[in-house]
């Protein structure tokens, strides 16, 4: 059964790095892994995506395990504005989008 598993919540101190894990053990070899975040009262916002190798952009880094069964979203220096629910997603071979329940990230000042 296709699914994505994430911790319900995590906490981090401001200006510290944050590592948000995701397990997607049933993903196929050609499906991209996408991460989104949802701020309160807003629609989800794209963060980053990747296939096999690690990816960086201005918002975050994405580390993908060699077997692709898990990935980690890395926020290098968390700020209060990064407090949100972070979703890891992927697409099945029949184009269904699998969203995890998300990780609620709390940032402590």
Partner 1 sequence: DSGVTQTPKHLITATGQRVTLRCSPRSGDLSVYWYQQSLDQGLQFLIQYYNGEERAKGNILERFSAQQFPDLHSELNLSSLELGDSALYFCASSVGLGRPQHFGDGTRLSIL
Binding-residue pattern over the window 16 to 35 for partner 1, x denoting contact by CB under 8 A: ---------------xx-x-
Give the strand order in the sheet containing 18-23: 18-23, 70-75, 61-64, 55-56
The upper half-sphere exposure of residue 25, i.e. CA atoms within 13 Å in the direction of its Cβ, equals: 3
Query: Does residue 67 belong to the site contacting partner 1 (CB under 8 A)?
Result: no
Q: Which of 12, 68, 87, 107 binds partner 1 (CB under 8 A)?
A: 87
The answer to whether 84 contacts partner 1 (rule: CB under 8 A) is no
CA angle 53, 81, 59 (to 5 degrees): 20
Which listed residue (12, 18, 36, 105) binds partner 1 by CB under 8 A?
36
Q: Which residues pair with 46 in a beta bridge?
A: 36
Q: Determine which residue in the list 46, 56, 76, 77 makes contact with partner 1, applying CB under 8 A.
A: 46
| SS3 (DSSP) at 55 | strand
What's the closest the beta carbon of residue 61 comes to partner 1, in angstroms?
16
């Amino acid at each position: 059964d296709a699914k994505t598993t994430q911790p319900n919540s995590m906490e981090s101190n401001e200006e510290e790095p944050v590592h948000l894990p995701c397990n997607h053990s049933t993903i196929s070899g050609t499906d991209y892994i996408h991460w989104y975040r949802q701020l309160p009262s807003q629609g989800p916002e794209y963060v980053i995506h990747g296939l096999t190798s690690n990816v960086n952009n201005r918002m975050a880094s994405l580390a993908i395990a060699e077997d692709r069964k898990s990935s980690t979203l890395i926020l290098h220096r968390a700020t209060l504005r990064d407090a949100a629910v972070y979703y890891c997603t992927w697409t099945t071979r029949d184009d269904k989008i699998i969203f995890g329940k998300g990780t609620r990230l709390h940032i402590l000042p």
